[in-house]
Amino acid sequence: MKKEIRRLTLVLLALALALTPTACAQSEQQPRSGGEGGEQAGYEPVTIESCGRETTFQKPPERAIANDINVVEMVLSLGVADRMVGVTGVDGKGEVLPGLRDELERVPILTREYLTGMETILGADADFVAAGWNYGFTEESGVTPEALAEFGIDSYAIRESCIRVGPRPDVSIEDTYADSMNLGRIFGVGDRAERLVEGYEDQVAGVRSRLPENAEPLRVFVYDSGEQTPLTAAGEAMPNALIGLAGGENVFGSVEDSWTTVGWEEVVERDPEFIVVVDYGEPSAEGKISFLKNNPALKDVESIREENFVVLSYAEATPSVRNVAAVEKLAAAFYPDAFESGGGE
């Protein structure tokens, strides 16, 4: 019954928005692109699997929304800003990559916060939403692929996030590659996506070739936030894969979860040699490092004694086009002698 009431409410909301001058004006300012020619004319229908759902796209999106800075950059890197009606959920996540700033300036920021309901999407007359579970899609907000489909709005959920709706294999950087490829196919720019992914693969191979042979993986702890109980990346979160590629081993990599809370006593027990600090929100990375260094419970942990910290931005630590740079940054910090001649940041 509650689901039917919510559905009726959303239908009435959609009708109201469609009849308001604001919605009409917005539609006039952001005309649908594609027309009878260009990429849409040669578009081959494509079926994409996303977190257990299959969607067949008969034409590329014309009024797309991307949520969260990592997904926004993934979409913008495909050169489809002219087919985006807006972005959401970018507050406190840092600046977009310099090479994508001009692209982002062409796209309205509909809300800097995460989506809390369907109003923003319906008000923008969107036909496609790219996000992830807990990166914009949540049952609590009512913004889900199923709910969007009721309004004829297609969607794509990034692969790393699928753990939030069901079991999946361990996360790999291949998930990021697959997201780029899938989004490229959806937008009809598969060739561009393929070139991007080939570049990512070459860069990672170059980093891997410089790692010391037969070295024992370094013990690494990811610190996202939290003082009473730390939030960390477990085996299903992207940092687990990035750390492995860089020659380390996530001390909570055996935990079958994504981002999860643990106890400080567990951190002490695992005695990480390096701590990866995720830089977003408050406190800043500097504030988080200061807290760690001044936490009496951690005084005997090797990474604290040696002050072995590596800072990753939010976009580097989540599935994004920055994952490759993150692998290089981590490897250069873990094995500075192998990267001191260049290649590390």
Q: Which region, left, alpha or beta, applies to residue 6 given φ > 0 means left and ψ of -120 to 50 means alpha? A: alpha
Q: Is residue 329 part of a domain?
A: yes
User: Do 180 and 282 fall into the same domain?
Assistant: no
| Distance from C-alpha of 248 to C-alpha of 255, rounded to nearest angstrom | 16
Q: Is residue 342 part of a domain?
A: no
Nearest to 85 by CA among 40, 129, 36, 141: 129
Q: What share of the chain is helix, strand, coil (3-state, %, to 5)?
A: 45, 20, 40
Total number of domains constituting the chain = 2
- CATH number for the domain that contains residue 277: 3.40.50.1980
Q: Is residue 29 part of a domain?
A: yes
| Distance from C-alpha of 292 to C-alpha of 191, rounded to nearest angstrom | 45
272 near 220, Cβ under 8 Å? yes
Containing structural domain, residue 182: 2-200
User: Do 178 and 241 fall into the same domain?
Assistant: no
| Distance from C-alpha of 116 to C-alpha of 89, rounded to nearest angstrom | 10
User: Do 193 and 298 fall into the same domain?
Assistant: no
pTM listed for this prediction: 0.87
Q: Which ranges of the chain would DSSP assign to H, the alpha helix?
A: 2-19, 21-29, 38-41, 69-76, 101-105, 119-123, 145-149, 173-187, 190-208, 238-245, 264-270, 285-293, 302-305, 314-317, 323-334, 336-339
User: Do 154 and 239 fall into the same domain?
Assistant: no
pLDDT tens sequence for the chain (345 residues): 444 545 544 544 544 444 444 333 333 333 333 333 334 568 999 999 999 999 999 999 999 999 999 999 999 999 999 999 999 999 888 899 999 999 999 999 999 999 999 999 999 999 999 999 998 999 999 999 999 999 999 999 999 999 999 888 889 999 999 999 999 999 999 999 999 999 999 999 999 999 999 889 999 999 999 999 999 999 999 999 999 999 999 999 999 999 999 999 999 999 999 999 999 989 999 999 999 999 999 999 999 999 999 999 999 999 999 999 999 999 999 999 999 865 444
Query: What is the sign of the dihedral through the CA atoms of 49, 50, 53 and 59?
Result: negative
User: Do 263 and 298 fall into the same domain?
Assistant: yes
Q: Is residue 207 part of a domain?
A: no
Query: What is the sign of the dihedral through the CA atoms of 238, 64, 139 and 120?
Result: positive
User: Do 242 and 119 fall into the same domain?
Assistant: no
